[in-house]
Chain A
Amino acid sequence: LAKTTQPVSMDSYEGQEVNITCSHNNIATNDYITWYQQFPSQGPRFIIQGYKTKVTNEVASLFIPADRKSSTLSLPRVSLSDTAVYYCLVGDMDDYKLSFGAGTTVTVRA
């Protein structure tokens, strides 16, 4: 399993863009990059997944450079309700038993 490293915490204000970078230097060729969001006492929620370049959906964008050794989750115009823990996971079908690290606690202030 590729090991991931994320910042422990980030603070932001409403309306700002939040970018969380995850390092995964030993990512394998078949690995996908997946991000989850978790609120207290709830299960993680799948946000976005990508393999290379850029992926965008209705809630976030995922930027993956050509070497794939890192990825950045971008949350546009955050609100107070985006305060949560965000997890970056890396793995492929054979590694679907993914391991969650400590994640990044994002706190959005008014």
Chain B
Amino acid sequence: ETGVTQTPRHLVMGMTNKKSLKCEQHLGHNAMYWYKQSAKKPLELMFVYNFKEQTENNSVPSRFSPECPNSSHLFLHLHTLQPEDSALYLCASSQVTRAGGFHGQYFGPGTRLTVT
């Protein structure tokens, strides 16, 4: 399998549930990202992992908890979500070089999350 994959593609959960979103990249990249895209809104960057270290957390509520066990896998653990958290959650990866240069992010197909 190539590119960036995400599972599940669709998820419906109640506000008291705990679930996890999974992302896997097969591109050999060293940075991974979580984005949220609500209806008719721009993508919002949530978390960034660069060389497996979390380098960005854009004031995301603690009910969202990321985990990056290695450079190929990224998880987003969800608990006690609110209906307004319903959105498309996108994972992306990129190759970031310490010598400089950003070479574009490659996105997965997303997980459509509905919180009831």
Contact = CB atoms under 8 A, between A and B. Distances in A.
A28 interface: no
Contact of B43 (A32, A45, A46, A100): A100
Contact of B102 (A34, A41, A103): A34
Given A41-B110, A44-B107, A96 B94 contact: yes
A101 interface: yes
B92 interface: yes
A46 B108 contact: no
Contact of B107 (A43, A98, A101): A43
Given A98-B105, A100-B43, A101-B42, A42 B100 contact: no
Given A93-B102, A97-B56, A101-B42, A43 B96 contact: no
A46 B42 contact: no
Contacts of B48: 96-97
A92 interface: yes
Contacts, number: 65
B105 to A, nearest CB: 7
27 contacts: A32-B102, A34-B102, A34-B104, A41-B88, A42-B110, A43-B91, A43-B108, A43-B109, A43-B110, A44-B105, A44-B107, A46-B105, A46-B106, A49-B104, A92-B102, A93-B102, A95-B102, A96-B50, A96-B102, A97-B45, A97-B55, A98-B45, A99-B42, A100-B35, A100-B45, A101-B42, A102-B42
Given A49-B103, A97-B48, 18 more contacts: A30-B100, A32-B102, A41-B88, A41-B110, A42-B109, A43-B4, A44-B107, A46-B106, A91-B102, A93-B98, A93-B102, A96-B31, A96-B50, A96-B94, A96-B96, A98-B45, A100-B43, A102-B42
